[in-house]
Amino acid sequence: MNRQSEDCVIEIEEGIKVIPGAGAVIAGIDKIANWGRISSMWPAVFGTACCAIEMMTAGSSHYDLDRFGIIFRASPRQADVMIISGTVTKKMAPVMRRVYDQMAEPRYVIAMGSCACTGNVYNTYSTAQGCDNFLPVDVYIPGCPPRPEAFIDGLIKLQEKIKNEHLRWSRWR
């Protein structure tokens, strides 16, 4: 925190300034919206296979995702980011797309694990070769399964991505 004594403005984040006592914030609208978004990413859990266990581990006591403001939500309607952790089968793909469609915008997708990224060793009749066939993926986290540290790194990458976004006055992104 950087207090500037002459005009009593506190810069709480790069480009976002607060005037204490006045209840006012000085910032570009992009900056302030992104700042709000990165600090409270609520993921809709879509654990399908092995990676879901590592995702749970990342959310539990040792790794503690709460410190990033990340709290798992069961309902897609209350979520900002969808974490696809595990193999996506052809039977599962329509369900996954439907859950994605239920999420409110802006929405992001993280493909966790090699199966969700590319299909991994499961090059079979029943497995979709990566969830980017039917979803716009923002961050890919490879690994079989990725360690919780790698998963957290993926989340931070997504935060950086959101930080640099510009607010577009259009309905589609």
Site residues for another protein per CB under 8 A: 45-50, 52-54, 56-57, 60-62, 72, 74, 76, 86-87, 89, 91-92, 95-96, 99, 121-122, 124-127, 144-145, 147
Nearer to another protein, 108 or 146 (CB): 146
Nearer to another protein, 113 or 162 (CB): 113
Nearer to another protein, 34 or 87 (CB): 87
The DSSP call for residue 86 is S
Cα–Cα distance for residue pair 61/49, rounded to 1 Å: 21
**Closest among 42, 59, 78, 46 to 151, alpha carbons compared:** 59
Q: What is the 3-state secondary structure (H, E, C) of 26-58?
A: ECCHHHHHHHHHHHCCCEEEEECCHHHHHHHHH
Q: Supply the minimum distance, in Å, between the C-beta of residue 154 and another protein.
A: 17
Nearer to another protein, 103 or 162 (CB): 103
Q: Supply the minimum distance, in Å, between the C-beta of residue 119 and another protein.
A: 10
Q: What SS3 class is residue 115?
A: helix
**135-149 CB burial, b ≥16 within 10 A, e <16:** bebbbbbbeebbebe
Q: Supply the minimum distance, in Å, between the C-beta of residue 37 and another protein.
A: 23
Q: Supply the minimum distance, in Å, between the C-beta of residue 95 and another protein.
A: 6
Q: Supply the minimum distance, in Å, between the C-beta of residue 99 and another protein.
A: 5
Distance spanning both ends of the chain, measured CA to CA: 33
Nearer to another protein, 32 or 45 (CB): 45
Question: How many residues would you count in the chain?
Answer: 173
